[in-house]
């Protein structure tokens, strides 16, 4: 019998949960940087740090996490709310399309950043 953990739907579930967790961990740092806007000197110092290549890679990772979480979440909403008279393969195809659009968005973002 095939393990459920080797199924695409399991990996979509895991990608959705882990990207959501990573975004939740990022949120306090985001609010901290927004609070820096109250002090112009601190914000200028951070913006110089944000120009480093490692930060650009981090921004790219953030865009990938956001798009993965969005598309896998939309997939879950579609599974919950739409009537599914189609085949199981059509539902599985949503996983591939969500992943592909996320990667394409990441590539467009990184090409504009570099």
Q: Which residues does the annotation place in the binding site?
A: 69
How far CA 2 is from CA of 6, 62, 79, 92, in Å, comes to 7, 33, 23, 16
- Residue numbers in the known binding site for heme are 69
Tokens standing for 102? 């996320």
The token pair that represents 54 in the structure block: 């490692």
In the structure encoding, which two tokens stand for residue 70, read together? 């969005």
Cβ atoms 98, 72 nearer than 8 A? yes
């Amino acid at each position: 019998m095939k393990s459920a953990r080797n199924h695409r739907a399991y990996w979509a579930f895991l990608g959705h949960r882990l990207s959501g967790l990573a975004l939740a961990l990022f949120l306090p740092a985001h609010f901290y940087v927004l609070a820096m806007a109250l002090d112009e000197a601190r914000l200028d110092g951070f913006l110089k740090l944000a120009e480093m290549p490692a930060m650009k890679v981090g921004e790219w990772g953030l865009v990938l996490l956001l798009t993965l979480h969005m598309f896998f979440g939309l997939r879950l909403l579609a599974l919950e709310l739409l009537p599914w008279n189609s085949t199981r393969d059509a539902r599985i195809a949503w996983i591939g399309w969500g992943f592909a659009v996320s990667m394409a968005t990441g590539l467009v973002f990184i090409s504009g950043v570099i």
